A and B are shown apart, each in its own frame.
Chain A
């Protein structure tokens, strides 16, 4: 596995999430979560926010990035919801139970974040 920039990883994971919107929504959740994590990692590294491979630190970082004006909206709640949902799918469930949660909406929100990361990297 060659080392890849987080921005590239975020973009590729997002592309897979988009593909799965017409396929398996459970996989779409996994990919969109992975994309958001990579995007947060990229921005956090620039801002010297410590992530330490911990999901909950990424949730906190998402909030901090919003408060610093780097992200236009606070995606910490989305990150936490996706983390919970993808674990429920991966470990516990065979079906996607998404009461009040839109995977398409999540992909759209993450697209915005990844767009910002891509722009800063270019």
Chain B
């Protein structure tokens, strides 16, 4: 007798990537949790893993339903400007006493599901590409819902956020605060990139992967802006030019 071993693999970053996967049964989900554990272990240094262990213990102690390591760490694409991001579903633990670079987002299970229906790309991102550290079945059920109902993040929502961020960044340009201007511009380019990709049926990955995804969708201008604002210290003039281009792109 041959036993068919079914293993989880990360969805392709496409419109059909998640829905091509079968709705996960318990066995397939166990495979995902195992894979995610290994990914989380590989992508964290000893110090980061210690923080993760502490957050996991505190979340479980409070009776949280699930915990996900998200963002660039989950994708193994940390940069100098990366935070350490987690998404807890259920009770949100206190992060007091832990290092300051942690961002812990939290939603109750119903609110998390509502965000998936509303097209919140961060919730979708966490479910698709996050490293799930534990799950009491709320995330498996959410995955089934997303697959069966073919849910996809709302590009229009991202577009509104991008336009607003571009406008704010242009205000910061006039203040003489280069650090704040660079950061606001980087955020605006990232939002514009996510809008562009979602509206072209591509799921945006980690921030440091966006430039490549943009080039693959024939958006080289925004790719240059995203990459330049992450890895270099562009001049004010360059940032302003890129913002003007992003403004035109998001207004067209």
Contact = CB atoms under 8 A, between A and B. Distances in A.
Given A1-B236, A34-B180, A37-B180, A90 B187 contact: yes
Contacts of A12: 175-176
Interface stretch (A51-59, A67-75, A113-121): A51-59
Contacts of B178: 1
B177 to A, nearest CB: 5
Interface centre among A12, A27, A91 (most CB of B within 10 A): A91
A4 B99 contact: no
B25 interface: no
A60 interface: yes
Interface of A: 1-4, 8-9, 12-13, 27, 30, 34, 37-38, 53-57, 59-60, 76, 80, 84, 87, 90-92, 94
A87 B81 CA distance: 13
Contacts of A3: 176
A4 B177 CA distance: 7
Interface in B152-202: 157, 160-161, 165, 168, 172-173, 175-181, 184, 187, 190-191
B137 interface: no
B101 interface: yes
B187 A9 contact: no
Interface of B: 83, 99-101, 103, 120, 122, 157, 160-161, 165, 168, 172-173, 175-181, 184, 187, 190-191, 236
Give the most central of A59, A76, A90, A94: most B CB within 10 Å: A90
A38 B177 contact: yes
B177 A94 contact: no
Nearest to B95: A80
A13 B177 contact: yes
A20 B172 CA distance: 14
Contact of A80 (B100, B173, B176, B179): B100
B191 A27 contact: no
Contact of A92 (B120, B175, B177, B236): B120
